[in-house]
A and B are shown apart, each in its own frame.
Chain A
Amino acid sequence: MSPVWSLRIGSRRGGRDVLLTKPVLPAAGFLGYGRGYPGIFDPQALGAVVTRTTTLNPRTATASTVRTRGGFILPLPPSNPGLTAVLRQFGPGWVHSPVPAILSVHVDGPEEMAAIGRRLEAEPGLAGVELAVPMEIDAKWLANVAAALAEECDLPLLVRLPLPLHPELIPAAVEQGVAGLVVATPHRGRTGPSGLAGPVYGPATLPYTLDAVAQAADLAAGTPVFALGGIYAKEDAAACARAGAAAIQLDGLLMLDPAGAGRLAAELSAGWGEPTASA
């Protein structure tokens, strides 16, 4: 029988550690703000709920989803009502939620992250923050943003890196004491008619995920790696674990087959394998 899986993620200051008891999380944007699919997919099958990526101010994307052959593009950052409205609407629910809530955020720079951090420090229901790292930033930007959050709030920080993976970002994140690396936001693509550019999701992204997870795990110095991208089946998750992932985030499967995603989460909770060292 497999040992019980658990993973403790902690903040840089060590004040608000969170114990994840299941190895499956939703990728940002694939389970909204945590209400799940009532009657179909119980969020309690998850180690935590990662919210839709949220910005300090409301944002409405100029285009919606675009379907491609074998995949789809979602805008990043997505439309969202802004931090104030999100906390007002969903914050009280997170306080009573049996599943930790991790707020995914998109920021322009350290000042915006500091402003978000000040708001989140007083948010009792929140268990952590996931930073959606934009493309074309450097290690200094990432270090400054991570430090800005740590200055203002004591929540664990997950850093979601984009593909193509820039290896120099990983030591920068680790040095800032981040609680985990999410690897990765899929490669960006663009469609003809609408011109929408954004991550291209779908089952075909798994090989890129596995390659990036393996690279990240080598550089992560023990920081947990969360695999994200194209995980649709138990064998996909197993491949991620072999590549060095401590846990996974489900993306498109949650939309295509929420009931199946629930079954997969339950299966993986029961049989992920050896327990992973705490962060």
Chain B
Amino acid sequence: MRQDHCRIVAAGALRSGHALLEVDCTPLGQPARAGQFLMLRAGTDWTDPLRHPAFFSRGGQVGQLLLPACEPWTQGLATLVPDEAVDALGPLGQPFVLRPGAARLLVIARSEPLAPALAAAHWAQRQDCAVSLVLEQPQWQPLTDLVPDTVECVVGPPEAQTNLTESVQWADQVLLVAGEAHWDWAARLVERARMRLSPGFASVLVPSDFACGVGHCGACVHRAGKRQHTVCSDGPIFDLTELL
């Protein structure tokens, strides 16, 4: 983790309503990985007194950040031009990992942040893993342009996918990007498809706003039973069995 000014390589807006930033992460000392994020400072003064989490939609030395454009803080960042710089802290969070031997990954994105779903698809493809990506909202269709052509993309509510159970049977691993309201749904889906939900099979990116991004403040703590998970530093990706 470092804090430094990172050069903007490219910036723009997508028809999905997202802003896209390509950022040279060299000053941060390590390439970004799927599931990780930066804490960005949106301005140079103190009128916006907290950093904002920005997830990578593609890792690497030049990382690609996908930002929800409806947020006021992203509007200024979306207008940055190449060679301008953004104050970044990171990379933060535990990266997404494929479990050993996984050759087929199913990614289901039902809520923001969508970036980690895309980053996981990228990462898995680079590991020679077949990837199927389900994006719930029709307006997210343009995001399919951000993943390799070899990723199978489906846009629409997962419940409407007649072959979703077969997709879960096909997969060696599932990544779900969705809030708590959908975790039981995901568990039931896996149980229908595979008889039981085994640890390591289904991961969940837990959507949360981060204040510090490094586990100091406790603002993003999620409780599951007697266990507490600090989403920003222990996660943001957790095994589904740990959350239920």
Contacts and interface: CB of A to CB of B under 8 A. Distances in A.
A45 to B, nearest CB: 15
Contacts of B220: 64-65
B232 to A, nearest CB: 10
Nearest to B211: A65
A38 B215 CA distance: 13
B221 A32 contact: no
A61 interface: yes
B217 interface: yes
Interface string A42-78: 0000000000100000101100110100111011001
A212 B166 CA distance: 64
B194 interface: no
Nearest to B216: A32
A135 B87 CA distance: 37
A40 B208 contact: no
B218 A78 contact: yes
A97 interface: no
Contacts of A58: 226, 228
A74 B228 contact: no
Given A39-B2, A60-B221, A202 B49 contact: yes
Contacts of B219: 61, 64-65, 74-75, 78-79
Contacts of A81: 228
Contacts of B218: 29, 32, 52, 61, 78-80
Interface stretch (A118-126, A148-156, A250-258): A250-258
Given A58-B228, A252-B50, A256-B46, A40 B217 contact: no
Contacts of B89: 37, 40, 258
Given A70-B49, A71-B49, A72-B49, A37 B214 contact: yes
Interface string B28-62: 00000000000001000011111100000000000
Contact of A256 (B50, B209, B223): B50
Given A65-B50, A256-B51, A257-B41, A30 B3 contact: no
A130 B14 CA distance: 49
Instruction: Tell me what chain A mostly uses at the interface: helix, strand, loop, or mixed.
Output: loop
Contacts, number: 101
A50 B60 CA distance: 36
B85 interface: no
Contact of B217 (A39, A52, A67): A52
A181 interface: no
Interface centre among B49, B211, B220 (most CB of A within 10 A): B49
B1 interface: yes
Interface in B194-218: 208-212, 214-218
* Range, interface on chain B: 20 to 34
B217 A38 contact: no
Main secondary structure of the interface of B (DSSP, over half): loop
Interface in A147-203: 201-203
A255 B39 CA distance: 10
B50 to A, nearest CB: 5
A28 B95 CA distance: 29
A232 interface: yes
Contact of A37 (B1, B208, B211, B228): B1
A71 B49 CA distance: 6
Nearest to B221: A79
B3 A40 contact: yes
A67 B53 CA distance: 13
A64 B214 CA distance: 14
Contacts of A60: 221-223, 228
Contact of A29 (B1, B214, B217, B228): B217
A61 B218 CA distance: 9
Contacts of B87: 257
B211 A40 contact: no
Contacts of A80: 218, 221
A252 B3 contact: no
A139 B93 CA distance: 44
A127 interface: no
Given A61-B221, A65-B209, A37 B3 contact: yes
6 contacts: A65-B211, A71-B49, A72-B211, A203-B46, A252-B50, A257-B3
For the complex of A and B, the 6 pairs showing the least CB-CB separation, nearest first, are A79-B221, A32-B216, A65-B219, A60-B223, A65-B211, A78-B218
Interface of A: 29-32, 37-40, 52, 58, 60-61, 64-65, 67, 70-72, 74-75, 78-81, 201-203, 232, 252, 254-259
